[in-house]
């Protein structure tokens, strides 16, 4: 992967002259070095589990319609950070989140926040596919029903749209009444993505979505992410650095401090992280010299 830092001239002569630094990928596509738009902002977030500090003073910006990857060794707090983004940490006893996480400018840990609404707008896909022991149809319809959609025609449409978006429709359209557990691992994971899409979220969090899948299924999920990016904002945690390099636009490199709390070592456009990291630890990690 080669990288060129260029100061791109404004595309249209009518636009105000401004300097946009872009990071260019090997395939010629490019991404803003610093995102100019913000879907979510993590602002000095510290997470405690009881007395144990799991995450120390982490900040990053999640750009809309981009894929943001969180990488780093085990135990560095990637999943903790991800689970703070839709308040899944609330479910862990004694968890405390300090700092602000803003979704479209609004603090999701504010006193007037509706947790249910946060989780609807920020969906989640887990490491292991976890379809409910229900039919494929009922799996996808679960969310809409939760939010009060009862008309058959509307549900049918939402189920089909979600399954189409998760690239599963053609494989399951004739067996919607079958159990979701009857599908293969990769199909189950796409079913879980469809289930998350059905409540019309804005952001999708993925916690190592392909780590339990074989390479073919992994590729499918990665292709799917590229398609979903047009309509959704995606944050993905991954152990697989090639995957982060392939799919993401921005990468956050996290590490564990000596006191075992996680910190953000470096956050930048993915091409920068993988070719010109500023931090020595990032370079060691992405080049495999890290123990």
Per CB under 8 A, residues contacting other proteins are 86, 88, 91, 115-120, 123-124, 126-128, 130-134, 142-143, 146-147, 178-179, 181-183, 192, 195-196, 199
Q: Do β-strands 40-49 and 106-107 pair in parallel, antiparallel, or remain unpaired?
A: unpaired
CA distance 195 to 246: 25
Cβ at position 183, least distance to other proteins in Å: 7
Closest approach, Cβ 165 to other proteins, in A, equals 16
Nearest residue to 191 via CA among 115, 122, 119, 133: 133
Distance, CA of 81 to CA of 55 (rounded, Å): 7
Written as one string, the DSSP assignment of 244-262 is HHHH-SEEEEEEE-TTS-E
Nearer to other proteins, 119 or 229 (CB): 119
- Contact in structure between 61 and 35 (CB atoms under 8 Å): yes
Closer to other proteins by Cβ: residue 236 or 253:
236
Tell me how far, at minimum, the Cβ of 119 lies from other proteins, in Å.
4
Interior angle at CA 234, CA 268 and CA 187, nearest 5: 135
The dihedral built from the CA positions of residue 168, 217, 141 and 134, taken in this order, carries a sign that is: positive
| Residue with Cβ nearer other proteins (118 or 255) | 118
Shorter beta-carbon distance to other proteins: residue 79 or 218? 79
Residue 196 or 210 having the CB closest to other proteins: 196
**Taking the complex as a whole, how short is the minimal distance between the CB of residue 121 and other proteins, in angstroms?**
9
CB contact at 8 A, 82 and 205: yes
| Closest CB 110 distance from other proteins, rounded Å | 17
Rounded to a whole number of angstroms, the minimum distance from the CB of residue 94 to other proteins is 12
d(CA 232, CA 236) in angstroms, rounded, equals 13
Q: Report the residue number, 4 or 184, with the smaller CB distance to other proteins.
A: 184
Taking phi over 0 as left and psi of -120 to 50 as alpha, with beta for the rest, 205 belongs to: beta
């Amino acid at each position: 992967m080669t990288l060129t830092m260029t100061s791109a001239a404004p595309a249209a002569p009518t636009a105000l002259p401004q300097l946009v630094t872009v990071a260019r990928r090997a395939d010629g596509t490019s991404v803003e070095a610093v995102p100019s738009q913000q879907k979510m902002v993590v602002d000095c977030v510290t997470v405690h589990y009881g007395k144990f500090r799991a995450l120390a003073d982490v900040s990053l910006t999640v750009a809309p319609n981009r894929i943001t990857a969180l990488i780093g060794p085990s135990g560095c707090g990637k999943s903790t950070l991800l689970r703070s983004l839709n308040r899944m940490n609330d479910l862990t006893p004694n968890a405390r989140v300090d700092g602000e996480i803003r979704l479209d400018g609004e603090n999701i840990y504010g006193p007037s926040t509706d947790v249910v609404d946060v989780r609807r707008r920020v969906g989640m896909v887990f490491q292991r596919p976890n379809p409910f022991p229900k039919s494929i149809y009922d799996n996808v319809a679960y969310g809409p029903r939760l939010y009060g959609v009862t008309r058959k025609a509307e549900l049918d449409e939402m189920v089909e749209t979600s399954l189409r978006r998760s690239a599963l429709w053609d494989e399951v359209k004739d067996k919607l009444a079958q159990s979701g557990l009857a599908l293969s691992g990769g199909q189950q994971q796409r079913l879980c993505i469809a289930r998350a899409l059905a409540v019309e979220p804005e952001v999708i969090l993925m916690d190592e979505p392909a780590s339990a899948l074989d390479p073919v299924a992994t590729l499918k999920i990665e292709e799917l992410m590229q398609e979903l990016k047009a309509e959704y904002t995606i944050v993905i945690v991954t152990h697989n650095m090639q995957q982060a390099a392939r799919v993401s636009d921005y990468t956050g490199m996290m590490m564990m401090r000596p006191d075992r709390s996680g910190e953000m070592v470096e956050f930048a456009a993915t091409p920068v992280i993988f070719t010109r990291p500023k931090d020595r630890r990032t370079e060691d990690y992405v080049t495999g010299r890290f123990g």
